[in-house]
Structure 1
Amino acid sequence: MYTVGGQRILVVDAQVHVWDASPHNQAIPDGEAYATDLLRRHQELDGAGVPPHEVERVSEHSLRRDVFEGGHVDRAVLQPVVLGDLFVLGFSPLEWHAEMAGWMPGRFVLSGELDPGGGQPGARGLGPRVRRFDLRGLTLCERRRPAGRLRLGEPWLRRTLARCGAAGADVVHIGVGPSTLPAPWRRADGGTALRPPGAARDRPPRVPGWAEPVRAGSALPARTREAERVAPAGFDAVQFRALARALPDVRFVLGAGCLPEQRLCRLAELPNVYVLLTEILPWIGSEDFAHAFGALLRAFGADRLLFGSGYPLVRPGRLVRELAAYRFPDELRHRYPRFDTSAKRAVLGDNAARLYRIGRPLSASPAVAAGA
């Protein structure tokens, strides 16, 4: 547990991945290119002193060390992303998460995935999986990698989410997942996007010649076209509004970068919509973060914002410390709500604990309203 304002608080990381992007699992060339993008992104965000192999493949040792022992995190939500087109055995499958949770009991909450590439047939049997693995939520990648897209207005999707919610998986993440692209920073006035400090220009990595089966003379089958390695961000906000209103008992968690800031903030009128801060947290302390975080805090309130690190792209320790100590710059303090100890407690853990039905440790102190 972490101490804020003299109070010990529960910290829940709502976005942690256990993935395998190592060479033996890559579907060449697109899987390798995606893994290369991830390593580049990790170096930009949190590359100091972390061997590349620990980012390519998460082990029990590195997860325990980086998240629980050195990350100030009490509980973590494992978010799966299969990416079966890019990785032979899956990128971050539920079965591996369940195995990891068995090795570290009491540490994890499991979430499942609804792969839109499978359509309605692919959703069959999801309800029994929810009960079998005690899933508390679902990840919905509305745009399948490497191609395809699911319409949020599909009637079968609404029925599937309702059944899974009744079975216990009543939290749905949309637009949340490991991203190799920078967060879509935007000016407070809605102007052009800003590039975070230190971020490199977006450029596709060069795939080595040996990874191209035809040129290398390999007997492996060659792809007829290059896959779109990262799905474009965003979704149809009109369809999402209809979906969220039709399922009031389902809580929807959106990524902080899934839509432009103003469009995302307008969704705050829906009481069952929350925002995961993973995509903007690495730049705590910058003016861009202050505007983005302040706008979300003003629109959604502290009770509907969730902490997430996106580990292993970023280790959570630094993010927990900096968010717990965060204060808006003096020149911006009058523009945004106060981020006091009670608000920090909510964002760092209480909100996720409420959504995912995580029990509160006996050592946790009750919430206080005193300022940080």
Structure 2
Amino acid sequence: MYVHDGERYLVVDAQVHAWDGSAANQAGPAGEQFVADLHHRHRVLDRKPRPLPADEFERVGERALVADVFGYGHVDRAVLQPLGLGELFVLGFSPSAWHAELAEPLGGRLVVTGELDPGADRGVSRGLTAWVRRDSLRGFALVSARRPEARMALAESWMRRALARGEQAGAGVVHIGVGPVAHPPPGAPAWAHAGVPDRPARAAGRARWPSWAEPVRAGSALPVRARNARPLPAGGFDATELRVLAAALPRVRFVLGSGCLPTGVLCRLARLSNVNVLLTDVLVAMRTHAGEAGPALDALLAAFGPGRLLFGSGYPLVRPERLVGEAVGALRERGLEPADVQAVMGANAAGLYRIPVPDALVHGGQAARAR
């Protein structure tokens, strides 16, 4: 629990990741480039007290989550966001099945969400209700299961039925445009590109593995890794398709990343009462592009109000220890009352994900209506 100017804030970090981007799990040069770009962005955005070393950053598991997310006492609960990327990583980059294993020993401190690929065959929706109940899923992330640059089609009728079935089973939150990205989709706000390398990162110094240890493609003597792999952007989606989907499923709560669409387009979606915004991208951008990200935060507050905005750190891209304080300070500077700050920092997410919140921390404002 975070304390600021005598006020206590329950903090729910609505975007954290556990992943395995280690060399043993990389399926090709694109996987190596994806992890290298993420690490480059981490070094730009989270320099203090020091960036995570490459080997710690490449594989983030239970020990890292406990130490970096919960270890400083600021974050009370967190939501794990999945991302498969099966063509880039042999066992998946951040699969939801692994998340269920990570959450089990942590006594309910981690909320688990599943992943659905809008571009996949409709057969993936079979057994969805049993999956939700088995892993205690609270929501789904709509992401490409194969490659990050795949554009998502949200108009498929099977997807609408699957999300409705998931909501009935207890997974009523749907994340879109929420995930670890080094290269945002085309059309994203300029500040969302903060910390993104303009060209592929080059290996510096001595290689971390001997030449004889290079994995090879099946039936070939060529090494899997390549030094000139092209950076991969994140996949986008059509805001019109999202508008139709959200209007058709009023009981489902949609959570959009603040950097997944132009800010003006995102603000127009505020007309739909079941659309919420995760502030991860804009809060992180405040560190490097405050002049552009600040007005975007103001616009989102004006459009959605504090009752439909959620705090997220995007860990391990940015560790939440300092970001929690920066976020509370930015919201208080904009004149928000403690009750509204509490809504953004934790009470809204607690309502969406059915996380118990002490009555003393819900001041009867926007947070209570988010449940």
Give TM-score scaled by structure 1 length.
Answer: 0.85
The corresponding residue for 1:231 is: 234
CA drift of 1:153 comes to 1.1
- Contact persistence 2:27–2:224 (CA under 8 A): no
Contact 1:213 1:220 in 2 (8 A): yes
Measure, in 1, the Cα distance between the counterparts of 2:299 and 2:181: 22
Separation in 2, partners of 1:291, 1:358: 31
Secondary structure at 2:281 match in 1: coil
Conserved 8 A contact 1:265-1:296:
yes
Of 281, 284, 287, which residue of structure 1 is paired with 2:286? Answer: 284
1:31 aligns with 2:34: no
**AA in 2 matched with 1:17:** H
Q: Distance in 1 between matches of 2:241 and 2:258?
A: 18
Instruction: Return closer, same or farther for 1:106/1:238 CA change in 2, 3 Å cut-off.
Output: same
Q: Would the alpha carbon gap of residues 38 and 107 (structure 1) be closer, same or farther in structure 2, given more than 3 Å must change?
A: same
Match of 1:314 in 2: 318
1:358 alignment counterpart: 355
**Aligned-partner residue type, residue 18 of structure 1:** A
CA distance in 1, matches of 2:155, 2:172: 18
Bigger shift: residues 249-258 or 143-152: 143-152
Aligned to 2:15, the other structure's residue is in SS state strand
Secondary structure in structure 2 of the residue aligned to 1:91: coil
Quote how far apart the aligned CAs of 1:128 are: 1.2
Task: For residue 227 of structure 1, report the CA deviation from its aligned partner.
Answer: 8.0
**1:85 aligns with one of 84, 87, 94:** 87
**Other-structure match for 1:258:** 260
1:294 pairs, out of 291, 298, 311, with 298
Deviation by residue 1:188-212 (Cα, 9 ceiling, x = unmatched): xxxxx35877x46521334899779
Once the two structures are superposed, what CA deviation does each residue of 1:224-262 show, in whole Å capped at 9, x if it has no partner? xx7873334x32111111110100000000000111010
Give unpaired runs (5+ residues) of structure 2: 366-371
SS at match of 2:321: helix
Instruction: Quote the residue 1:349 is aligned against.
Output: 346
**More deviation, 268-277/278-287:** 278-287
Q: What SS does the aligned partner of 2:232 have?
A: coil
Unpaired segments of 5 or more residues in structure 1? 187-192
| 1:133 paired residue number | 135
Change in CA separation of 1:301 and 1:11 when aligned onto 2, cut-off 3 Å = same
Task: Summarize deviations over 1:133-174 as a string: whole Å, max 9, x none.
Answer: 110000002695156444211111110100011000100001
Counterpart-to-counterpart distance in 1, 2:176 and 2:192: 24
TM-score, normalised on structure 2? 0.85
2:275 to 269, 273, 284: 273
Identity between Structure 1 and Structure 2 (%): 52
Residues 227 and 246 (structure 1), Cα distance of their counterparts in 2 relative to 1, 3 Å cut: farther
- What's the CA shift string for 1:44-90, capped at 9, x where partnerless? 11144222222111132221111111261000001111111111111
CA contact (8 A) 1:116 1:142 kept: yes
Contact 1:135 1:168 in 2 (8 A): yes
1:94-134 CA distances to partner (integer Å, 9 max, x unpaired)?
A: 12211111221121111000023422122222221111111
Deviates most, 35-44 or 11-20: 35-44
Partner residue of 1:180 out of 168, 179, 182: 182
- CA–CA distance in 1 between the matches of 2:192 and 2:119? 32
1:142–1:152: 8 Å Cα contact kept in structure 2? Answer: no
Answer yes or no: is the 8 Å Cα contact 1:29–1:212 preserved in 2: no
Displacement of 1:289:
2.4
Task: Classify the secondary structure of the residue corresponding to 1:357.
Answer: coil
Coordinate RMSD, CA, aligned? 2.9
Paired with 1:246 and 1:368, the residues of 2 have a C-alpha distance of 30
The answer to whether the Cα contact below 8 Å between 1:276 and 1:308 also exists between their aligned partners in 2 is yes
* Residue identity in the other structure for 2:298: G
* Residue number in structure 1 paired with 2:15: 15
Separation in 2, partners of 1:250, 1:36: 35
Equivalent of residue 339 in structure 1, options 336, 340, 364: 336
State the alpha-carbon separation in 2 of the partners of residues 195 and 267 from structure 1: 19
Between the aligned partners of 2:225 and 2:67, the Cα distance in structure 1 is: 40
* Residues in 2 aligned to 1:255 and 1:131: alpha-carbon distance in whole angstroms: 26
- 8 Å Cα contact 1:143/1:150 also seen in 2: no
**Equivalence for 1:119:** 121
2 CA distance for matches of 1:166 and 1:297?
A: 30
> How far apart in 2 are the matches of 1:206 and 1:55?
17
Match among 37, 49, 52 for residue 54 of structure 2: 52
SS at match of 1:177: coil
* Cα distance in 2, alignment partners of residues 259 and 195 from structure 1: 10
